[in-house]
């Protein structure tokens, strides 16, 4: 690759090494596809570029003129305090309208291509502890019982279950499914997202579902509140966090979330991509045209582990150059 690039938003793809869509072997791709290219993701000329140019110059005449210089970068800063928070479970009505179906439907059947999708039903009771299973999961599900995190199920562990018992009144079951990259080559390209088959508690299928598409293309309806009024969001409870950054003028930046878990990051309403503590990618490229002179809004949707600060850096951190381009996103 001559010039690195960025799959902004949710456009990063995926690989799949299995023979069947439900086999383990799904490998979503990170947001950056710089891949140690001679011309970096932000257009910078790297040491590799100059080494290649020197070798080429031994055998061919090089073009006249000076090489382009580095583009302006932000002065590094750390944004220590969120200006507001919105817990996802309390913002569902602002972000989506529910649809009711007998069985859970994949994203495509409710008119959605990317993002998150939320499923809710009631498991009757009383019932002893039985395994909860999702058949046809794409790609990662956070499961909640009466609002409390029950655990996570993932596509690459199709036989995994979570233990669930219910009292006399039953349990409200919420499942938040995160769609990762679509398989972009080979026989698994018909990569449906969400829940494509069904959910079982023990040997019984669960029915009567409320489904909310969450493409997250517009966050303007979110209401951010500060301090105690926002309510607490514990680890495993998805929530939006709003930060502000002051810039004297627009410039390229690389945004890092060093103490967060996994989720999405918006800059002035534009979705930069996914962040994930598992890496290998540690920063998201935020090019100058997305910034404003003055106040800028950064919104983090954290799904797993809530951090405390966002960092603006002047250099990318894409992990070791030997790392594979895909990760366990």
pLDDT at 224 over 50: yes
Distance separating alpha carbons of residues 249 and 198, to the nearest angstrom = 51
- Closest of 157, 155, 153, 154 to residue 132, by C-alpha: 153
Q: What tokens were used for 213?
A: 């598409």
The angle subtended at Cα 284 by Cα 278 and Cα 286, nearest 5°, is: 170
323 pLDDT higher than 60? no
pLDDT for 306 equals 95
Work out the average pLDDT over 203-207: 97
230: pLDDT strictly greater than 70 = no
Residue 326 binned pLDDT confidence (cut-offs 50, 70, 90): very low
Least confident of 29-33, 50-54, 114-118, 313-317: 29-33
Q: Are 153 and 134 in contact (CB under 8 A)?
A: yes
Structure confidence at residue 35 (pLDDT)? 83
Q: Is the pLDDT of residue 23 over 80?
A: no
Mean pLDDT of 239-261: 97
Q: Would you say how long the chain is, in residues?
A: 329
Of the candidates 302, 112, 140, which has an alpha carbon nearest to the alpha carbon of residue 215? 112
Over residues 225-230, the mean pLDDT reads 62
Supply the pLDDT for residue 138.
94
What predicted TM-score, i.e. pTM, was given to this entire model?
0.92
pLDDT above 90 as % of the chain: 84
Distance between CA atoms of 241 and 256, rounded to whole angstroms?
14
Average pLDDT over residues 219-239: 80
pLDDT for residue 324 = 46
- Using the predicted structure, report yes or no on whether residue 68 has a pLDDT greater than 70: yes
- The 3-state DSSP class for residue 17 equals coil
pLDDT for the residue 22: 67
Q: What is the DSSP letter of 40?
A: -
**Spatial separation of the C-alpha atoms in residues 76 and 256, rounded to whole Å:** 11
**What was the pLDDT predicted at 232?**
62
Mean pLDDT of the 97-120 span? 96
Confidence grade of residue 320 (pLDDT, cut at 50, 70, 90):
confident
- pLDDT, mean of residues 26-43: 91
Mean pLDDT confidence for 293-302: 98
> The tokens 């508690």 sit on which residue?
201
In the predicted model, what is the mean pLDDT of residues 306-323? Answer: 86
The pLDDT-based confidence of 325 (bands split at 50, 70, 90) is: very low
pLDDT in tens, 145-186: 999 999 999 999 999 999 999 999 999 999 999 999 999 988
- What mean pLDDT comes out for the span 291-313? 97
Residues near 156 by Cβ (< 8 Å), separated by ≥ 6?
24, 25, 26
Q: Which residues of 224-242 are buried (b: 16+ CB within 10 A; e: fewer)?
A: beeeeebeebeebbbbbbb
CA atoms of 150 and 166, how far apart (whole Å): 13
What are the angstrom distances between the C-alpha of 196 and each of 7, 57, 105, 209, 259? 26, 56, 6, 14, 33
């Amino acid at each position: 690759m001559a010039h690195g690039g960025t799959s902004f938003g949710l456009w990063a793809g995926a690989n799949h090494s299995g023979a069947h869509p439900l086999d383990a072997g799904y490998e979503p791709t990170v947001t950056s596809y710089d891949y140690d290219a001679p011309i970096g993701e932000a257009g910078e000329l790297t040491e590799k570029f100059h080494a290649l140019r020197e070798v080429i110059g031994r055998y061919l005449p090089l073009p006249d003129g000076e090489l382009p210089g580095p583009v302006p970068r932000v002065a590094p800063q750390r944004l220590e305090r969120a200006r507001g928070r919105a817990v996802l479970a309390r913002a569902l009505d602002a972000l989506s309208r529910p649809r009711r179906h007998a069985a859970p439907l994949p994203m495509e059947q409710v008119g959605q291509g990317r993002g998150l999708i939320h499923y809710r039903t009631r498991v009757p009771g009383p019932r002893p502890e039985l395994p909860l299973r999702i058949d046809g999961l794409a790609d990662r599900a956070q499961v909640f019982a009466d609002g409390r995190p029950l655990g996570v199920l993932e596509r690459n562990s199709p036989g995994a279950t979570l233990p669930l018992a219910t009292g006399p009144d039953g349990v409200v079951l919420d499942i938040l499914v995160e769609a990762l990259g679509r398989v972009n080559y080979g026989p698994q390209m018909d990569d449906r997202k969400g829940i494509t088959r069904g959910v079982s508690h023990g040997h019984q299928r669960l029915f009567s579902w409320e489904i909310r598409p969450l493409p997250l293309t517009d966050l303007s309806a979110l209401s951010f509140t500060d301090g105690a009024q926002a309510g607490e969001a514990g680890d495993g409870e998805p929530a939006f966090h709003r930060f502000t950054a002051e810039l004297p003028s627009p410039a390229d930046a690389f945004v890092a979330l060093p103490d967060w878990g996994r989720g999405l990051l918006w800059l002035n309403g534009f979705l930069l991509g996914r962040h994930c503590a598992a890496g290998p990618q540690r920063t998201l490229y935020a090019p100058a045209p997305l910034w404003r002179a003055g106040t800028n809004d950064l919104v983090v949707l954290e799904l797993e582990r809530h951090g405390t600060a966002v960092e603006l850096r002047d250099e990318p951190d894409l992990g070791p150059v030997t790392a594979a381009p895909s990760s366990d996103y």
